[in-house]
Amino acid sequence: MHPILFSLGPLTIYSYGVLLAAAYLVGLGMAVRRANAAGLDGNRVLDLGIWVIIAALVGAKALLFIVDFEHFTSSWTEFTSLLRSGGVFYGGLIAAVVVCIYQLRKHRLPLWTSGDLFAPGIALGYMVGRLGCLMA
């Protein structure tokens, strides 16, 4: 539809990247507000969310690299194109779940309560991220 939001000389702003960042911010903000309302430490929930976001991004890229290993190792330019590529959803999901469980145990946050706090933000963030896919 509209993969490029705007260009300023050599700088190009892509709609997918903007909406993906917006998805993370909206989802994380909702989780922190819900945590504060539920009596949990919002800063720990924010830390948890940031670690999960980083893990999701790394996991998605890692699984994309594994799935298309021959493509990305065929030349240096193809390898560097990995930075501009999206990722594989399931790789991000697996890495995010592993890091989330580790962080929940480390900070002694309740599993089910934390899941309830994050669920609406994850759904809202996923919807905004899918809009980014549509725009791309």
Give the 3-state secondary structure percentages of the chain, helix then strand then coil, rounded to 5: 80, 5, 15
Question: How confident is the model over 123-132, as a mean pLDDT?
Answer: 84
**Interval 75-87 mean pLDDT:** 81
d(Cα 136, Cα 123) in Å, to the nearest integer?
20
Distance CA 79, CA 75 (A): 6
**How far apart are alpha carbons 91 and 55 in whole angstroms?**
9
Q: What is the pLDDT of residue 122?
A: 85
Q: Please, how many CA atoms are within 13 Å of residue 62, restricted to the half-sphere of its CB?
A: 13
Task: Give the Cα separation of 118 and 111 in Å (integer).
Answer: 11
Q: 20 or 43, which is more confident?
A: 43
Cα dihedral across residues 69, 75, 81, 83: positive or negative: positive
Copy the structure tokens of residue 14: 């892509």
Cβ atoms of residues 21 and 85 within 8 Å: no
Q: Is 44 helix (H, G, I), strand (E, B) or coil?
A: helix
Please determine, for residue 79, whether its predicted confidence score (pLDDT) is greater than 90. no
pTM value > 0.75: yes
